[in-house]
Amino acid sequence: MIVVTGGAGFIGSALVWELNRRGEDDILVVDHLGETEKWKNLVGLRFNDYLDKSVFIDRLTRDHFGDRLRAILHLGACSATTEKDADYLIENNYRYTARIAAWRESRPRCRLIYASSAATYGDGAQGYADDETALPNLRPLNMYGYSKHLFDLLALRKGWLKDIVGLKYFNVFGPNEYHKDDMRSVINKAYPQVRDEGRIRLFKSHRPDYADGEQLRDFIYVKDAIAMTLFFLDHPDIGGIYNIGTGRAQSWNDVAAALFKAAGRPLHIDYIPMPEHLQGKYQYYTCADLSKLQAAGWSQPCRSLEDAVDDYVRRYLAMDAHLSLA
């Protein structure tokens, strides 16, 4: 059985979708649905069972599953970069992952792949190379990034990274992010306005070395991100921390241009002030260093930003559709 935690979420449900496309359906989805709309991401997908995250971790630590777990793809986390409850983030993002990894120590045949984050890199002053020895030097800018960083450090100290994999996802966008509220991609949030009003709002720059809208990010389509993720399921001999991105830094203006082109509308950008609470925590540049991933054997090119946005708009946003096997 393959466990996908956060399996009703954005990247997690995309992983279930791709596993289904590979013929895999012996899957346990773990999540916490509450009153959210995440359940819609599961419609049309195949899996054996669903468990709430609290039930799963209780059963796991009591060894309910025995040797039946082939892999745990641990995508479950609070991914809100604006979340202020530090205790909640520590418990949900750090300690929960630590409990899974501690269980796995006695079940080494179970593959563990977990989600770290590019937010651990902070302002990028230490670069974006996924070198485990450089982990202690990183300084995340928000509590979300720090909660992820804490587990990376624990895994390093415990020696777990020799045979488990941590993935630092950069700016992932694509179908099944509808439920994420303010954490949705700009593409998802802006599409209705582009379609109906022919305009988009982007943050002004508060640094003289970046023009408005020219802040740079490594934007990766979710379909490419899950292909990279499953590369590590297919190669269980690989351990360590790896970046998941395109290796290209592109601007918000580039995103806007691709979105307007896909929507068939002329480009119109309004630049608005960045909220004060974000100004000291904003990343002006991110770009995944993929040299380590490529050295591990990954060679598949990612879609261009324009092609990815076009696929997202035409097949999903315009159709109000989720990833589905139907």
Average pLDDT over residues 120-135: 93
Determine whether 312 is an active site residue: no
Across the chain, what does the average pLDDT equal? Answer: 95
Catalytic residue (one of 96, 180, 223, 312): 180
**CATH code that applies to domain 2-173+218-247+286-302:** 3.40.50.720
**Partners of 237 in the β-ladder:** none
Tokens read off for 51:
């468990």
**177-189 pLDDT, tens digit each:** 999 988 899 999 9
Task: Say if residue 290's pLDDT is above 80.
Answer: yes
Q: What is the pLDDT of residue 279?
A: 78
**214-253 pLDDT, tens digit each:** 999 999 999 999 999 999 999 999 999 999 999 999 999 9
CA–CA gap between residue 275 and residue 145 (Å, rounded): 19
Q: What is the pTM of this model?
A: 0.95
Q: What is the pLDDT of residue 277?
A: 79
Kindly tell me the burial class for residue 296, based on how many C-beta atoms sit within 10 Å of its own C-beta (0-12, 13-18, 19 or more): middle
Catalytic residue (one of 114, 121, 144, 242): 144
**146-172 pLDDT, tens digit each:** 999 999 999 999 999 999 999 999 999
Determine whether 180 is an active site residue: yes
Amino acid at 10: F
